[in-house]
């Protein structure tokens, strides 16, 4: 079985106020740290999904062998009208449609906090940095 590493960095980072992929984490942008982890694990297929901040994020990935895809979300055509017209989707985004069709989503359980931690706000980011730096100080 082969594995692929996928970095989802296509969001607007509205709550954070700046692209999360570019936040400094131990001296390098988050997205670079993630690429380094994939490389260390010898994950051969590495994909970074980018959105509106692609022009700012792409340059920091120049030294890393990865496929950059600009926002390739794939939806069944039966959901197009709902994505475009439902009040939930237009107000909350595609995530609302995703939640409505949860029975069709396959989840994979993981126990690594680095995989499941949500870094959406400056407070989340500061908490993560403090946790990782607690052994240094």
Write down the CATH number for the domain with range 1-72: 3.90.550.10
Residues counted in the chain: 137
How far is the C-alpha of 20 from the C-alpha of 8, rounded, in Å? 10
pTM above 0.85, yes or no: no
CATH 3.90.550.10 boundaries in the chain: 1-72
Say what the pLDDT of residue 62 is.
96
Per-residue tokens: 10: 């296509």
pLDDT tens digits for 87-137?
887 777 777 888 888 888 766 666 665 566 778 889 988 888 888 877 665
How far is the C-alpha of 96 from the C-alpha of 102, rounded, in Å? 10
């Amino acid at each position: 079985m082969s594995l692929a590493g996928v970095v989802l960095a296509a969001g607007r980072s509205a709550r954070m106020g700046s692209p999360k992929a570019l936040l400094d984490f131990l001296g390098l942008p988050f997205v670079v740290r993630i690429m380094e982890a994939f490389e260390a694990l010898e994950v051969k297929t590495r994909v970074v999904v980018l959105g509106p901040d692609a022009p700012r994020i792409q340059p920091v990935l120049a030294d890393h062998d990865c496929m950059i895809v600009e926002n390739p979300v794939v939806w069944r055509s039966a959901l197009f009208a709902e994505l475009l017209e439902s009040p939930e989707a237009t107000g909350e985004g595609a995530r609302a449609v995703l939640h409505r069709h949860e029975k069709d989503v396959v989840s994979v359980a993981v126990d690594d906090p680095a995989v499941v931690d949500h870094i959406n706000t400056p407070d989340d980011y500061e908490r993560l940095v403090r946790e990782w730096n607690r052994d240094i100080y």
